[in-house]
Amino acid sequence: MLIGIDPYICVIKRRIIMNKAKRQAIIAGNWKMNKTPAETTALINEMKPLVADANCEVVLCVPFIDIAAAVEAAKGSNIKIGAENVHFKASGAYTGEISAEMLTAAGVEYVVIGHSERRQYFGETDQTVNLRTLAAVNAGLKAIVCVGETLEQRELGYTETLLKYQTKMALTNVSAEQLKNVVIAYEPVWAIGTGVTATADQADEGNGYVRAAIAEVYGAEVAETVTIQYGGSMNAGNADELVAKVNVDGGLIGGASLKAQDFSVIVKAASK
Ligand code: 13P
């Protein structure tokens, strides 16, 4: 019997490797509300040589006020600049908001949408996450859409249901063509900024639920091409194990993206 299993395992392994190869790993920093423009310039200048050899996409999502400095500092390097939010209207009387067109005009390529901190503190809903995602992709931005369960939801056994619901809601009316510019970041709320990382298996499982939700709407073939990151206390010490998982196509990094050395170690882990 065992003799017959070997080739089978080989096929499975080959399929896993092939599927991962279909997707681009992306390591994105989310600086949250940290760094002044001057500090932005200094940190990116420190990071540039450390990530220059990356074999994955390297993105830094920075506060709006830091975008100009970040774009300037990253010029000529492999670092792409992202924003941390975008409004869903094109223009108008929306005091304090920033449109997708303003971001692209400023040299921004990525935007984080629906981070749990925005859901928790700023009234972000699945509907507004969807509207922002549509606005972003329609303007030519790449959307990094965040989903994730709270500890209470996990303990009640709702993780799969919730992740699938949030994913499908975020992607409502997003065409398969537009989906090419969408990345999903699975960020369990209980793992964000807490130092409690999901185990590699939990991250892989959560990302797998997101991929399954995408498959249910767009088909398995399309789902295999979507980059799904893990986020939540990913750091220089645990990145290797996390990004090695079949469904983990890189990471969305908070605290560790504010330290050039640590961030570069994570980029190296995703470059293997
Ligand atoms: P930490 O890496 O600080 O836990 O933050 C994760 C996060 O929220 C990235 O968006």
Task: Give 10-residue mean pLDDT values along the chain (272 residues).
Answer: 44 54 91 98 98 98 99 98 98 98 98 98 98 98 98 96 98 98 98 90 98 98 97 97 97 98 98 92
Closest residue by CA, ligand 1 atom 9: 254
* 36 CA distance to ligand 1 middle (Å): 19
250 lies in some domain? yes
162 lies in some domain? yes
pTM for the model = 0.93
Q: 65: domain range?
A: 24-270
Whole-number pLDDT of residue 17: 52
Which of 186, 193, 200 has its CA nearest to residue 252? Answer: 186
Kindly report the CATH number assigned to the domain that includes residue 118.
3.20.20.70
Residue 234, ligand 1, Cβ within 6 A: yes
8 lies in some domain? no
Quick one: CA torsion of 11, 184, 206, 259, rounded to 10 degrees?
A: 100
1 lies in some domain? no
181 lies in some domain? yes
Whole-number pLDDT of residue 18: 57
78 lies in some domain? yes
In contact, 47 and 62? CB cutoff 8 Å: no
Domains of the chain: total: 1
5 lies in some domain? no
Q: Which residue among 57, 115, 124, 149 is the active-site one?
A: 115
φ, ψ for residue 135, nearest 5 deg: -60, -40
Whole-number pLDDT of residue 196: 86
11 lies in some domain? no
Atom of ligand 1 nearest to the CA of 32: 10
Whether 205 is catalytic: no
Residue with tokens 């498959």: 215
